[in-house]
Amino acid sequence: MLSSIRAQLTLWYVGVLGVVLIAFSVGAYMLLARSLYDRLDARLHSTLQAITAVVEHSVTGQAPDVQTVNRAIGDLRFPNQTIAVIDSSEHVVSKKTAPGGPPLRLPSSPLNSSQSIRFYELPESQPDADDSCRGVLQRVTNGSADDSYTVVVMESLERLEDQLDLLQDFLFIVVPLSLVLAGLGGWFLIRRSLAPVVTMSKNAQRISAENLDQRLSIANPYDELGRLAATFNALLGRLSDSFARQREFMADASHELRSPLSVIRTTSAVVLQREDRENSEYREALMIVDQEARRLTRIVEDMFMLARADAGHPTLQNTKFYLSELLGEVARGAAVLASRKGLHFEARLLSAETPFCGDEGLLRQMLWNLLDNAIRHTPAGGNVWIALESRDLKYIITVTDTGSGISPESQPHIFERFYRGDKARSRAETDSGSGAGLGLPLARWIAEVHHGGLELQRSDETGSSFVIFLPHA
């Protein structure tokens, strides 16, 4: 039970409130005690001043006039106090105990040690004696130490202690009761506040890969729980899209893999139907099987590379080389393919050094994919060229052709896997292309993994132009 958030929040709430209430109670108790003691000391000091003045005016000769002191003290009205005048021999010269005043009790230290005002406090003489008191005394002299006398004023502490005990008992009852009520109220409020979380948890438990289209209900979209539910719904949307793409990828991959396998099986079955065939027929059949096997191998390799990219584990073999030299090598191979098809091929490369650090094999594959697409989709007599320039700390590679272009409705999808918008395009296989719709997605991933990018700059009836951006460093 203590492991639940509701219990933990309630305990934290009660604990913090308990600390605050205890600190407040202790502070209030100490403040009230200090105020009551200050008032008591003020009354004692006021009475002491009055009695001292009376005694000083009644001193005649070597000793104070006892009758005058008794008469003056008797005329004064100080409730709940005991007043005494004591000579240097510690004999009581005069004493008055008002109603509620404590019995006369003196401190154990000498009374005539100093002329300064001195407060003292005495506890109960016996348990339940109720004679605890607080007093003040001052020694007054008449020229010599032998003529000194001491004025003592006392007041009982019972009323003050009763008030403090009443406050203490009140706090001992109120603070625990407040914590209990706060705990019950906090438990109820937290349970009600977390009710949407419980509902979201139950709804989330019912969501699986088969019903990712379901969403959590949002009671208040503006509070924290509402934003949490909206975030979870967005996560479900991304998961649903990911699962949909995965299922689509599996379906497209199965379709693409089935085609070359079907051709291989059909060719093998036809050849094996008769035992007496010419060598040319076996050679033709093996050429078909080899061509389809190459296509199948390329599809599997591209799928494996994209799968590793999706898993976040791309394998790069970074080396230092010159980008212009790599483009020159790829351009020489592409010029041969273009001449076989009757195309004019041109490479516009930089004469300056173009140092670069990256995976040379992947970059070569990216360039081959783009050039292969340009050559395959450009009719005889057309032009294909590749250009390299350096601008704004970036290498810009442009691959342009004069083919039929890409339809406007297909342009937003050309970087999607297994997408082939123009069904009329040739699916004839070459050594550098699988025709499965993986070339452009793979080329874009290679550019991005090198911290660059690949974009379709333009495509219309005059041809297409793809641009690659690669950073210098």
Same domain, 25 and 134: yes
Sort strands 344-348 and 383-391 into parallel, antiparallel or unpaired. Answer: parallel
Q: What is the CATH number of the domain that holds 324?
A: 3.30.565.10
Domain C-terminal end among 140, 164, 188: 164
Same domain, 399 and 284: no
DSSP 303-340: HHHHHHHHTT-----EEEEEHHHHHHHHHHHHHHHHHH
Mean pLDDT split into 10-residue runs, the chain, 473 residues: 78 92 95 95 91 74 63 76 84 85 83 77 85 89 66 91 93 94 90 83 82 81 84 87 76 72 84 81 86 80 72 76 92 90 90 87 90 90 93 92 87 76 44 59 88 91 93 82
What are the backbone dihedrals phi and psi of residue 389, each rounded to the nearest 5 degrees, phi first?
A: -140, 160
In whole angstroms, give the CA distance from residue 137 to residue 55.
Answer: 13
- Count of domains in the chain? 3
Residue type, 405: G
- The helix-helix angle for 158-193 and 195-205 (nearest 10°) equals 30
Instruction: Answer whether residue 207 is part of any domain.
Output: no
Q: What is the CATH number of the domain that holds 147?
A: 3.30.450
Which residue range is the domain that position 348 belongs to? 318-471
Same domain, 338 and 424: yes
In whole angstroms, give the CA distance from residue 459 to residue 408.
Answer: 8
Same domain, 296 and 400: no
Give the pLDDT of residue 310: 66
Instruction: Answer whether residue 189 is part of any domain.
Output: no
Give the pLDDT of residue 80: 86
Domain C-terminal end among 310, 341, 361: 310
Same domain, 422 and 466: yes
Domain C-terminal end among 310, 339, 357: 310
Instruction: Answer whether residue 110 is part of any domain.
Output: yes
Q: Do 191 and 6 form a contact (C-beta atoms < 8 A)?
A: yes
DSSP state letter for 215 = -
pTM comes to 0.50
Same domain, 49 and 106: yes
Instruction: Answer whether residue 340 is part of any domain.
Output: yes
Instruction: Answer whether residue 206 is part of any domain.
Output: no
Same domain, 325 and 404: yes
DSSP state letter for 209 = G
Instruction: Answer whether residue 187 is part of any domain.
Output: no
Closest CA to 207 of 186, 184, 187, 237: 237
Q: What is the CATH number of the domain that holds 255?
A: 1.10.287.130
In whole angstroms, give the CA distance from residue 331 to residue 337.
Answer: 10
In whole angstroms, give the CA distance from residue 439 to residue 435.
Answer: 8
Same domain, 139 and 267: no
Same domain, 379 and 417: yes
Same domain, 423 and 284: no
Instruction: Answer whether residue 128 is part of any domain.
Output: yes
Instruction: Answer whether residue 181 is part of any domain.
Output: no
Residue ranges in 58-157 assigned as alpha helix (H): 66-75
Closest CA to 134 of 143, 125, 123: 123
In the chain, how long is the greatest CA-to-CA distance?
A: 163
Q: Do 373 and 434 form a contact (C-beta atoms < 8 A)?
A: no
Same domain, 260 and 229: yes
Same domain, 122 and 237: no
Q: How many CB atoms lie within 10 A of CB 372?
A: 19
